[in-house]
């Protein structure tokens, strides 16, 4: 998945404006980053990758880019 497509997916997960969301956006600055978005992220990524993403890894993520790298590195 390319970064642009990931940003589109994350904007939907977070209910954020796609044009405002960047890879360097801090998750703590997003009103939509909550426990529901956390589960939605895991569900969305399961559609795109077979990589196992651990809950601790998601909790430790600081930026949107960190979430991207969890799924696609």
**The tokens of 66 are what?**
């960190």
Residues whose CB is less than 8 angstroms from the CB of residue 64 and which lie 6 or more positions away in sequence, other chains included = 6, 7, 10, 21, 22, 23, 24, 25, 27
This prediction's pTM: 0.90
- Which pLDDT band holds residue 32 (cuts at 50, 70, 90)? confident
Q: At what angle do helices 64-72 and 3-14 cross, to 10 degrees?
A: 120
Indicate whether 57 pLDDT > 90.
yes
**The tokens of 46 are what?**
């399961």
CATH of domain 3-72: 1.10.1200.10
Decide: residue 63, CB within 10 A, 0-12 exposed, 13-18 middle, 19+ buried. Answer: middle
């Amino acid at each position: 998945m390319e970064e642009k497509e990931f940003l589109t997916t994350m904007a939907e997960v977070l209910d954020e404006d796609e044009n405002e969301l960047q890879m360097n956006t801090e998750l703590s600055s997003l009103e939509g980053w909550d426990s529901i978005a956390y589960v939605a992220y895991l569900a969305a990524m399961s559609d795109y990758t077979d990589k196992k993403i651990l809950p601790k890894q998601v909790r430790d993520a600081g930026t949107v880019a960190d979430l991207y790298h969890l799924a696609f590195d």
